[in-house]
């Protein structure tokens, strides 16, 4: 939408990111002398994440050459699971004391970007 020297817009499209996901479990037993120490149980995964981005922005022409603007973008990526393994490389959920036999960590990455810009058009 253009009004005099202002332009308001919405935008959207595909998004992708190369992400490395690492999780480390820490001992949370308050009666343990190793409270707060890593337990050796981790969840790791890396690779490309795909998703979508939506946003909106506005630009103002201050003169024939100078433009100022701002934009906000919200990106959401597809959920990704990482298997939990012990320090020895075994399945952390193999213990009969675990409540869930399917032992994974599920993460969903979202990002929010706000930016302000000043542009100069040469040759005007």
pLDDT tens digit sequence for 16-37: 999 888 777 776 666 777 777 7
- What's the domain range around 11? 2-120
C-alpha 122/C-alpha 124 separation (Å) is 6
Could you tell me the pLDDT band of residue 46, with boundaries at 50, 70 and 90? confident
- What is the per-residue pLDDT for 66? 96
Confidence of residue 5 (pLDDT cuts 50, 70, 90): very high
Dihedral Cα 11, 59, 70, 19, nearest 10 deg: 30
In tens, the pLDDT along 105-124 reads: 778 889 999 999 999 999 86
Rounded alpha-carbon distances, angstroms, from residue 13 to 54, 86, 117: 7, 39, 21
Q: Please tell me the total count of domains within the chain.
A: 1
Cα end-to-end span (Å), the chain: 23
């Amino acid at each position: 939408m253009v009004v005099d020297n202002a332009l308001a817009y919405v935008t959207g499209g595909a998004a992708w990111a190369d992400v490395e996901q690492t999780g480390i479990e820490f001992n949370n037993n308050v009666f343990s002398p190793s409270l707060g120490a890593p337990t050796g149980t981790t969840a790791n995964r890396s690779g490309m994440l795909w998703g979508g981005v939506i946003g909106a922005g506005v630009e103002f022409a201050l003169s024939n050459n100078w433009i100022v603007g701002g934009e906000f973008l919200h990106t959401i990526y597809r959920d990704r699971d990482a298997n939990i393994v012990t320090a020895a490389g075994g399945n952390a959920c193999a213990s009969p004391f675990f409540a869930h036999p399917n032992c994974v960590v599920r993460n969903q990455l979202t990002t929010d970007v706000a930016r302000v810009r000043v542009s100069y058009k040469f040759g005007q």
